[in-house]
Amino acid sequence: MSELIYPLAIPVKAGLELINKYNLRSETSLKDHVDDYVEYADVLFSAHAPIEIDGQRLNVASIDRDFREYSIDVIKTYIDKCAMFPNLTQLNLHFGYKRWFAEAQIQGRIGDYENHIMAVRDIADHASEYEIEIVMENLNSYWSANQILPETDPLEIDWSDKSEPFATYPDEWISMCEDINNSNVKLCLDTSHICTYAQRFPKEDRKKEIMKFLSRPDLINHVHWSDNYLYDIRGRNDSHLTVGSGTIPTDFHKAVKSLDATILLEHYYSENQLIQELEFIDKL
Ligand SMILES: [Zn+2]
Ligand SMILES: [Zn+2]
């Protein structure tokens, strides 16, 4: 059994009463407007930046300069709102997109690496004025958005022409943080997303693939901790199960628990499930 370094957080949708009952912290989700949660100020230590406006994904890497600047501005404006909360010291940010071909996406379909690096530095400098740290979250492999059929052999898929964000891959997630090279930018590990990525590999290699996300624990300052189905096809979805109810190996969970990072249990289903989950985590 190891001890957590910081109190765990659960989503605001669990309700303030429950958050306080279990001495937890909280984080607003990508769909929440942080300014709707003023009464949560005491427990709100982090927020999730918005990822879309009017059905279009923001893309801070976009090769379309107008859409890129618009996307950066949306995030900066959100940071200004987060600054009203005295305990809010981390903003979780999604990476932009290399390619995003959803029908609703009129602008910002294609992203560029260098644009991305510059954009995050710009956002991080803005956030540092309020002492808010930017944590960059590894993202999903999008099986259903790319209409990949269940019977398709993962080894036969060419991802180079598929809708895909930056930093789905562990090595890219880490090297982008290094290339951004800004003391106000660290990483957020999402343990459900890593399973959607691991589904690209044969079952016997999947544990090794998810372990790569733990190769630079010094860069991980925040975690979105959930379980998922590592070994069967349900893991192509971003399942966000309670920790201990999926098939991520226990030693991986143990390593997550011991990280020097703030941790959000990024799901809430019921108080009973929360109690079971906290018991599972306590025994790790
Ligand atoms: Zn996210
Ligand atoms: Zn997440």
Ligand nearest to the CA of 11: 2
Q: Is residue 47 part of a domain?
A: yes
How many angstroms is it from 69 CA to the middle of ligand 2? 24
Domains in the chain, number: 1
How many angstroms is it from 204 CA to the middle of ligand 1? 27
Q: Is residue 2 part of a domain?
A: no
- Which pLDDT score is estimated for 2? 82
- Measured CA to CA, the distance from residue 192 to residue 251 in angstroms comes to 16
Q: Is residue 1 part of a domain?
A: no
Q: What's the whole-model pTM score?
A: 0.97
Ligand nearest to the CA of 226: 2
Ligand nearest to the CA of 50: 1
- Apex 247 CA angle, 244 and 253, nearest 5: 55
How many angstroms is it from 90 CA to the middle of ligand 2? 14
How many angstroms is it from 30 CA to the middle of ligand 1? 7
CB-based contacts of 250, cutoff 8 Å, min separation 6: 284
Q: Is residue 212 part of a domain?
A: yes
Using one digit for the tens of pLDDT, what is the confidence trace for 60-107? 999 999 999 999 999 999 999 999 999 999 999 999 999 999 999 999
How many angstroms is it from 282 CA to the middle of ligand 1? 25
Backbone angles phi, psi at 182, to 5 degrees: -130, 130
Q: Is residue 3 part of a domain?
A: no
Using one digit for the tens of pLDDT, what is the confidence trace for 149-188? 999 999 999 999 999 999 999 999 999 999 999 999 999 9
- Which pLDDT score is estimated for 1? 76
How many angstroms is it from 207 CA to the middle of ligand 1? 22
Residue 68 is part of which domain span? Answer: 9-283
How many angstroms is it from 220 CA to the middle of ligand 2? 13
Q: Is residue 135 part of a domain?
A: yes
- Mean pLDDT of the region 249-274: 98
Using one digit for the tens of pLDDT, what is the confidence trace for 209-257? 999 999 999 999 999 999 999 999 999 999 999 999 999 999 999 999 9
Whether the Cβ atoms of residue 81 and residue 126 lie closer than 8 Å to each other: no
Residue with tokens 């937890």: 24
How many angstroms is it from 190 CA to the middle of ligand 2? 5
CATH number at residue 102: 3.20.20.150
Q: Is residue 125 part of a domain?
A: yes
Ligand nearest to the CA of 194: 2
